[in-house]
Structure 1
Amino acid sequence: MPHLLGADRVHLTLGTRTLLDGVSLGVDDGQRIGVVGPNGAGKSTLLRVLAGRQEPDTGRVTRAGGTRVALLDQRDDLGPGTVLDAVHGSADAHEWASDARVRAVHSGLLADVDLDAPLAKLSGGQRRRVALAALLVRDDEVLVLDEPTNHLDVEGVAWLAGYLVDRYARGGGALVVVTHDRWFLDAVCTRTWEVHDGVVDQYEGGYAAYVLARAERAQQAATVESKRQNLLRKELAWLRRGAPARTSKPKFRIDAATALIADEPPPRDSLALARTATARLGKDVLDLEDVTYTLPDGRVLLDDVTWRLGPGDRYGVVGVNGAGKTTMLRLLTGQVVPTAGRVRRGKTVRVAELRQDVEDLDEVADLTVVEAVEREKRTVVVGGKELTAAQLVEKLGFTRERARTLVRELSGGERRRLQLLRLLVAEPNVLLLDEPTNDLDTDTLAAVEDLLDGWPGTLVVVSHDRYLLERVCDRQVALLGDGHLRDLPGGVEEYLQLRGVALAAGAADARATGGVGGAMARAAAGVAPGASGAGGAAAPSAGAVDGPPAPSAAEVRAARKEVQRIERRLERISALEADLHRRMAEQATDHTAVLALDAELRTLAAERDELEAAWLDAAETAG
């Protein structure tokens, strides 16, 4: 494969820390590389060096002639202007709206964003999606993405994974991506780079294959890091036995994986945990009974929802942004009261909530990590073993040096870990986690999951990280934006199927009511933003004289036939899309099949966009 980009003996030191120490590596055409490693190891620095945004102290970065490299930084520096300015610059609408690939980016990332909105008024999540869209519509040979899944929901992550695999499946460029989303790494990447201690170790395959290779290396080296090795073996056992493993079978050396985990028990004994939870909690935990919650503006977030949480239940919650996931957690904690219905709590229930912000650490900012944990409790029992605060801190990835660091000097990921530790040592029996994966690296996530495996209680996790949801939860539920809570026997894949069907139904309703196509189809038909009427023609002014000539009777008949033909095909496309979503749910564990079906979906979506644009033209003639 042609070589596109490389680093030759690159060395870089920041302050007293050496982040890159004689690193040499290359990026070839068609490669999709995932970059992992501990927080602060230098992953983002490596990306900036490769993209030419930061000069190394020594060594050099080389590019094949004419290779263009684009970087999505963690900072969304979009500048002034509108969304349209940021994504397409000064390009005319017809230049980009006729491109099916560009329309796919719009529908995948900007469906709920007004293209004429000022960038200064966007939310953080919207700004992130705009910055990502601005890169994806370009034709750079090497795409370098730093945490692209931040602020994307489960649906958005699935779309981005399918888009990137399709874009680079047959060469035509390369991808280098830093992300803590392990499902995304396994779905997208064909190679893995691990950044640690100034070096970059390279592995074939995605996240699952990387975990296997690390476990093998640890075993062969017979290192003294037995705790780390055992944790890797435990995660490997999950990958082989759980749903994510079946998606990676082509990348696994099955015999080697089976040998490594032959004596590894299941991640958790659900039956034993349920018995313990029942003893601690009793039969009644938390119940939402006929709960309705209405916002001040009149929008109904929850509509007559009944949900009963029992002892030892472990639920994952997914849903569209703004559907009410965080509000539902606040109802369970009692921070807000329902508009109608009631929330029942068992007498022995002690609820702890991990919120998305870390402001609760401000009160212990002048304490060390261990002192902050000891303030809650000095010892805690995890998985039947009593651990001191210092041992628990070490178990969750704090070295002895970092454990004696003041809280105010911790990184974002370290503060997140400390926040969770303080919750766990207080020994709640109901734990609510709101986006717990924010700012955590993959090793820390594995340690958090290991900790939760032995935690006996009722667990509710709101997250867009489907790997985490499948790993620590036994059941999933969804808020689809219609006010109702939906059980998901098929897990996240069933949620994606339901969302696909809902979106297809919404598009069909829009066509039935004359709202076909929206802004994208109007642009594809050459209609200026803000123009009125089905065909986009503005109403004539009082002084206008002659308009365009009226179509003949034959032209009108032909246009009406064309409208009927297009509508039949659009109905057929909706049926095909529903069938594809069904098949995706049935083959949810086969990544290759799912990605192939997703490619078919995108082809249908592109055809639908073109048909909607043609429908507008024909409908204008048909009257």
Structure 2
Amino acid sequence: MNYLSSENLTKSYGDRTLFRNLTFGISRGDKIAIVGANGSGKTTLLSILAGAMPPDAGLVSVRKDISIGYLDQQPDFNDALTVMEAVLAGESAQLDAVRAYELALASENHVGLEKAMADMEKLEAWDYEAQIRQILGELGIQDIEQRVSSLSGGQRKRVALARVLIQNPDLLILDEPTNHLDLEAIEYLENFLTTSNGTLLMVSHDRYFLDRVCNQIAEMDNGQLYSYKGNYAYFLEKKEEREMAAASELAKDRNTFRRELEWMRRQPKARSTKAQYRIDAFDDLKEKTSGKKADGDLDLNLRMARLGSKILEVENLSKRFGDKVLLDHFTYTFKRPDRVGLIGKNGMGKTTLMNMLTGELRPDSGKISTGGTVKFGYYTQTELDLPENQRVIDVVQDVAEVMKLANGDTITATQLLSRFLFDRSKQYDFVAKLSGGEKRRLQLLLVLVQNPNFLILDEPTNDLDIMTLNVLEDFLLNFAGCVLIVTHDRYFMDRLVEHVFVLEGEGKVRDYPGNYTDYREWRDSKPRTDGRADTRPSGTILQEQAPKVATPAPVNGNANGAKRKPSFKEIKEYETLEAEIETLEKRKVEITELLNSGGHHEQLTAWAREIEEIDQTVARKSDRWLELAEYM
């Protein structure tokens, strides 16, 4: 069943054409990811298909009886609403029923309550609020009563994602859904989409995410869309075959063009006597060969400043904001070439730690001793504050007119920009005309051009296309200095880091000897103690099994890892909780049967509220029961 189709779509900005006469379709059950270089038009295409932007030409047709949920990169909210109100402001039959029920409850004499309750029952919307709370919690939003105006950009994106997921649309259109999510939230979303029977169209650069979720990849390349039936690994294989075939065809076309060019140059005055069909064929061939350019290679072969024996020593570092302890006596000595990943939920203090290491933030106590030769290169999540009316070439020349490469050669700012895939025309564009990914690439250039020997990268993968990520990974693998990385891109972290700092909360930091997947396998082998159902996908993320590593010890705190014995009081509490939870579950079944049998609207309302109270109590007692179970 065809859900959406587009025919002959064309979109241009000024003299730049993103795509022309593009035709594309989505059928029920498809899970399609659009990939491609920054600035190729992926986000624009998604906006057009979602109906948020008109094309210059062409037509988009959507099946009449389907619903579409669209997640924009810059979601729009009413800042006066609370988080819960913002999510409930979405569009779906269930949400309409919830709003009608709330309105009837609030009205005098409960006008329309019986019909509202019948609709709630029919649409299975009674536990809708609980579902919203669960999704928001999994995405890292706990305070549902805070105003949207108080949220950061990343939090707004997560609320928008929750709003579109709870709508359960027939067709889900997501633009970079994993940006601004922590690793656990990404795994939750990955599992949600993998187990869903819905239809999905998205743009993402997360390679593990693409491999697990999608059954079709569409690549945007030079204004054309190339579709591949299969996951991301299959796409890579088939793309290589296509490019080899295209390169062979291009070589043949250019050989033919050279022969035809010689023919055209002979007797120019007598051109009118030449065969017109051959002249037309020559013109077509000229356009064909000149329009095909080999992909540029991003070259990061920049010189690194010399790094001495003493690098960075951190001793008893502590930091708190109000009652929240982010670091508590953290101690570590960086060695060359340390490659460390920094893991922790949003708000655990990852950025705070990086800011303290670079001297941008003072610790409450402790000592940071930096070697005399250390030169930090700090790539932050926040985009550089560049004048929108400044040209790209001027931005780079303000930092350095010429730069040295690792081999000692000197290059100009223009040459360096070319190596970073900014062609001559793009170099003289204003910053305002750059795409989000191009701005991030420029920001990366401005960090590396200063020849750092200790790189601190805070979410470097956001908005970078896959080609740029691959080259950045190769550069970092050969980088002789130290690297500290925060990223939600699990593939990027797995390939680069040798051990991870895990910020576990309450100031504790665990130094785990391995990459992210090694840590995750160890973590998943332990019983969960947070009371939530384990919605994370089982098994390893990597195709091959990760190496077994020793159980890590906390950097700060007791390092023996011994399992303590429960007290007599805890054993009795554990047994009592089991009985109490069982009793509450039985009561919930009884009330649910009463609710289904009907009755006076006031009694029905009371039963519905009792079910909600039971759910909250069971969740709280289950949290405690699981916590105690670890010691039994």
Letter in 1 for 2:85: D
Q: Given the superposition, is the C-alpha separation of residues 155 and 564 from structure 1 closer, same or farther in structure 2, using an over 3 Å criterion? A: closer
Q: Sort the Cα spacing of 1:385 and 1:91 in 2 relative to 1 into closer, same or farther, 3 A.
A: farther
Partner of 1:449: 473
Residue 10 (str. 1) matches residue 9 (str. 2): yes
Q: Which residue of 2 aligns with 1:38?
A: 37
418 and 481 in structure 1: CA distance in 2 versus 1, 3 angstrom threshold: same
Q: CA deviation at 1:153?
A: 1.0
Q: Percent identical across equivalent pairs?
A: 36
**Structure 2 matches for 1:247-326, cutoff 5 A?**
280-295=306-321, 297-326=322-351
TM-score normalised by L of structure 2: 0.67
Instruction: Tell me the distance in 2 between the aligned counterparts of 1:175 and 1:215.
Output: 25
Q: Deviations over 1:377-432 (max 9, x none)?
A: 62332488765544432232212221233446534322322222122222111111
Q: Unaligned 5+ residue runs, structure 1?
A: 227-266, 509-558, 570-608
The aligned amino acid for 2:9 is V
Contact 1:383–1:455 at 8 Å: present in 2 too?
Answer: no
| 1:71 alignment partner in structure 2 | 70
Residues 323, 498 of structure 1: alpha-carbon distance in 2 compared, 3 angstrom cutoff:
farther
Change (3 A) 1:219 1:373: farther
In structure 1, how many angstroms separate the alpha carbons of the residues matched to 2:620 and 2:394?
Answer: 68
Task: Provide the C-alpha distance between the structure 2 equivalents of 1:118 and 1:179, rounded to a whole number of angstroms.
Answer: 29
SS in 2 for 1:48: helix
Give the 5 Å matches for 1:220-619. Answer: 220-222=245-247, 280-295=306-321, 297-359=322-384, 361-362=386-387, 366=390, 368-369=392-393, 372-373=396-397, 375-376=399-400, 378-382=402-406, 389-407=413-431, 409-493=433-517, 495-496=519-520, 504-507=528-531, 563=580, 565=582, 612=615, 615=618
Q: Does 1:105 align with 2:135?
A: yes
Per-residue CA deviation, residues 198-225 of structure 1 (Å, 9 max, x unaligned), is 2211123333332332222222333699
Change (3 A) 1:450 1:188: same
Distance 1:383 1:25, change over 3 A: farther
Tell me by how many angstroms 1:9 deviates: 2.2
* 1:329/1:432 contact within 8 Å kept: yes
Structure 1 residue 438 displacement after superposition: 2.7
Moved more, 203-212 or 382-391: 382-391
CA distance in 1, matches of 2:168, 2:53: 22
8 Å Cα contact 1:395/1:447 also seen in 2: no
Does the Cα contact within 8 Å between 2:174 and 2:201 map onto a contact in 1? yes
CA 1:348–1:405: 2 relative to 1, 3 Å: same
Q: Whose Rg is larger?
A: 2
Matched position secondary structure for 2:87: helix
Q: Which residue of 2 aligns with 1:255?
A: none
Contact 1:83–1:117 (CA<8 Å) still a contact in 2? yes
In 1, the alpha carbon distance for the partners of 2:13 and 2:75 equals: 23
Distance 1:395 1:333 in 2: 28
Write the distance in 1 (CA, Å) between the matches of 2:370 and 2:509: 19
Aligned equivalent of 2:52: 53
Go from structure 1 to structure 2 and tell me whether the alpha carbon gap of 1:284 and 1:106 turns closer, same or farther (over 3 Å shift).
same
**Contact kept in structure 2, 1:354 and 1:432, CA below 8 Å:** yes
Shift of 1:617: 13
Give the total of aligned pairs.
476
Q: Tell whether the 8 Å contact from 2:377 to 2:447 is kept in structure 1 after alignment.
A: yes
1:31-180 map, 5 Å: 31-79=30-78, 80-89=80-89, 90=99, 92=101, 96=125, 98=127, 104-109=134-139, 112-168=141-197, 173-180=198-205
Aligned residue for 1:23? 22
CA-CA distance at 1:162 after TM superposition: 0.7
Q: 1:407 to 1:11 in 2, by over 3 A?
A: closer
Deviation for aligned residue 1:505: 2.0
Cα gap change, 1:102/1:119 in structure 2, threshold over 3 Å: closer, same or farther?
closer
- In the TM superposition, residue 166 of structure 1 has moved relative to its aligned partner by 0.6
Distance 1:485 1:3, change over 3 A: same
- Please tell me the residue identity of whatever aligns with 2:492: L
Paired with 2:527 and 2:134, the residues of 1 have a C-alpha distance of 14
1:181 to partner: Cα distance: 2.2
C-alpha contact 2:312 2:333 (8 A) present in aligned 1: yes
1:74 alignment partner, SS class? coil
**1:143, CA displacement in angstroms?**
0.5
**Distance in structure 2 (CA, Å) of the matches to 1:218 and 1:313:** 37
Alpha-carbon spacing, 1:453–1:369, altered in 2? closer, same or farther (3 Å): farther
- Give the C-alpha shift of residue 165 in structure 1: 0.7
SS at match of 1:281: coil
Say whether the 8 Å CA contact 1:291–1:342 is kept in structure 2.
yes
What SS does the aligned partner of 1:193 have? strand
Q: How has the CA–CA distance of structure 1 residues 388 and 183 changed in structure 2, closer, same or farther, with 3 Å as cutoff?
A: farther
Asked if the contact 1:397/1:444 (under 8 Å) is kept, the reply is no
CA contact (8 A) 1:376 1:422 kept: no
- How far 1:305 moved relative to its partner? 0.7
CA displacement at 1:167 relative to structure 2: 0.7
* Residue identity matched to 1:331: M
Distance 1:347 1:121, change over 3 A: closer
* Counterpart for residue 553 of structure 1: none
Which residue type is aligned with residue 11 of structure 1?
Answer: T
CA distance in 1, matches of 2:346, 2:620: 34
Structure 2 residues without counterparts, runs of 5 or longer: 90-98, 103-119, 252-298, 533-575, 587-611, 623-632
Deviation at 1:434, TM superposition (A): 1.4
CA–CA distance in structure 2, aligned partners of residues 345 and 117 of structure 1: 40
What's the offset of the Cα at 1:63? 2.6
Q: Amino acid of the residue matched to residue 563 of structure 1?
A: E
Letter in 1 for 2:474: D
Please tell me the residue identity of whatever aligns with 1:3.
N
Instruction: Tell me whether 1:194 sits opposite 2:219 in the alignment.
Output: yes
SS in 1 for 2:468: helix
8 Å Cα contact 1:36/1:178 also seen in 2: yes
How far the C-alpha of 1:566 sits from its partner, in A, is 6.2
Q: State which drifts further: 81-90 or 299-308.
A: 81-90
Aligned in 2, Cα 1:365/1:78: closer, same or farther, shift over 3 Å? closer
Q: How many Å apart are 1:112 and its aligned residue?
A: 3.3
**Greater Cα shift, 206-215 or 325-334:** 206-215
SS at match of 2:445: helix
Q: Is the 8 A contact 2:393 2:413 kept in 1?
A: no
Which amino acid letter does the alignment assign opposite residue 81 of structure 1? L
Other structure's SS at 1:326 match: helix
Q: Is the 8 A contact 1:5 1:26 kept in 2?
A: yes
Alpha-carbon distance, 1:55 to partner:
3.0
How far 1:161 sits from its partner (Å)? Answer: 0.8
